[in-house]
Amino acid sequence: MFDFLDVYPWALPILIFFGRICDVTLGTMRIIFVSKGEKYKAPLIGFFEVFIWVVVISQILSRANDLVAYVSYAAGYATGNYVGILLEQRIAYGIVVCRVYTHKNGNDLIQQLNELNFGATLLHGTGSVDKVDIIETVIDRKHMKKVAKILTDFDPNIFYVVEDVRTKQNGIFNKRENILSRWRLGK
């Protein structure tokens, strides 16, 4: 299968390096899907992750006998971790709860979030110095940057925390416009 490596031995460290990047990146994604309870995606990704790893290891055990191949294995592992983290941030898969603490009127923030179809809940609390409004919203992770901008525009001194959510159920969420309602008579 890799007979070309006998003719081009310089290609082995390159194959090892990029193979490790692929397998470690897939491993990062698999861990994310396992933690989110994705029982079909995680095993599929795991299959390809292990397949690539076995191919790379077999080449190392049969052909690699120099320090360059070993360094390319370690460098591929490190780079794969980095690429996996970048990919995970780019995909922004999952659901988060954003809990906001502000000294301003939380009803105003709730209204802003509702206008953009983000449901939110307001609680009143007491902080270390004064009373605070606590606003919680459950959103798709891909919308977090947009919500963070809304929060900092609302109150530059706002404090918020973001936590991963494994599942969500029920709740009150804003109704999305039905495509057929645009053509409904009497509107």
pLDDT, tens digit (0-9, with 9 covering 90-100), for 21-78: 999 999 998 998 888 888 899 999 999 999 988 988 887 777 777 888 889 999 999 9
Average confidence (pLDDT) over 144-153: 92
| Adjacent-strand bridge partners of 162 | 98
Looking at the chain, the whole-number percentage of residues with pLDDT higher than 90 is 37
- Rounded to the nearest 10 degrees, the angle between the axes of helix 67-91 and helix 11-35 is 40
Output the average pLDDT for the chain. Answer: 83
Instruction: Lowest mean pLDDT of 27-31, 102-106, 124-128, 175-179, name the range.
Output: 175-179
pLDDT on residue 170: 67
Q: Is the pLDDT of residue 146 over 80?
A: yes
pLDDT on residue 33: 86
- CA dihedral (23, 25, 29, 30) in degrees, to 10, reads 20
pLDDT on residue 58: 82
Minimal CA–CA distance to 112: which of 145, 76, 153? 153
Q: Is the pLDDT of residue 100 over 90?
A: yes
Rounded (to 5) percent helix, strand, coil in the chain: 55, 15, 25
pLDDT on residue 174: 44
Pairing of strands 131-140, 121-126: antiparallel
